[in-house]
Amino acid sequence: SHFLIFKGQLFAFTVDGDPHFIISVPQKKDAICFNINEKPGMILNLINDPVTGITVNGELIGDKRANSDAKIQNSYFGKLGIANKHLDVKLTVTPERITIENGDEKTGFTWLDSATLQQAGLTLIINRKKNLVLSMGSGASFVVVLHQVWKKHPLHQDFLGLYTLKSDKLSEQTHGLLGQFFQPIDFTILEIHPGSDPKKPDATMIVKNNELTVTRGWQKDYRRDPTHGVDIPCWFVHDNGAGLIDGVHTDYIVSSLF
């Protein structure tokens, strides 16, 4: 999936391929991006806020069959787990169905439903076959987008995208692959020079006191044009975001969706 933080808000989009993260840095009028390459079945912690009790984890799925030519199999988010431990609410979203667990109560929907659900501290709106909007507690809200592919596609399967709105309603202790970037980040670019691809120069980036070699690239923003997307230029950090993310990407692997 493909994430974009914009003017302090965090949006996320999904594109073909491994989860792509984009962090917009408004004061630089620029963006940083990175990929996480992991095996299908792995679960990544995206957001974890101990203060509001909100966590978001995503489970990776792969293509219908492994591509023998590709060294790394494409992966996508095929399942999201959004929980609020203060409200005792767990929401599981797959490309097939949406399940809400509230204490001992369980309610299920499919993407063919249009529904609005309101209860203490929680509003859930399902827009049939498109997306669901969830807001809870402090006002943090999430949009999960359904990306459907042609049913008989030989390779790809349906997957999910995540947008986070009002990320400023989460606390400063928020962490996770995505949550750590809700706080402002600064970087400096030095020594732009030709890279292996003539269209994509390399440069040195100073970020978090690290010196990284980065490559100028583009990622797609699917907010305005859900089909084709809009190309967003960004500095690409290699090796699963090494030097940009806190720790290493395997620190964010969790054992279950909740």
Secondary structure tally for the chain: helices H, strands E: 1, 20
Two tokens, residue 232:
């967003």
Nearest to 181 by CA among 29, 48, 15: 48
pLDDT on residue 3: 46
Question: What average pLDDT does the segment 170-179 reach?
Answer: 93
pLDDT digit string, tens, across residues 175-206? 999 899 888 889 999 999 999 888 899 999 99
What does the block give as tokens for 178? 């995505």
Which residues 6+ apart lie within 8 Å of 205 measured at CB? 32, 187, 188, 189, 190, 211, 212, 213, 214, 235, 237
Tell me which residue has tokens 């490559």: 215
Lowest mean pLDDT, pick from 46-55, 66-75, 201-210, 248-257: 66-75
Contacts of 189 (CB under 8 A, 6+ apart): 203, 204, 205, 214, 235
DSSP state of 85: T
* Whole-prediction pTM: 0.85
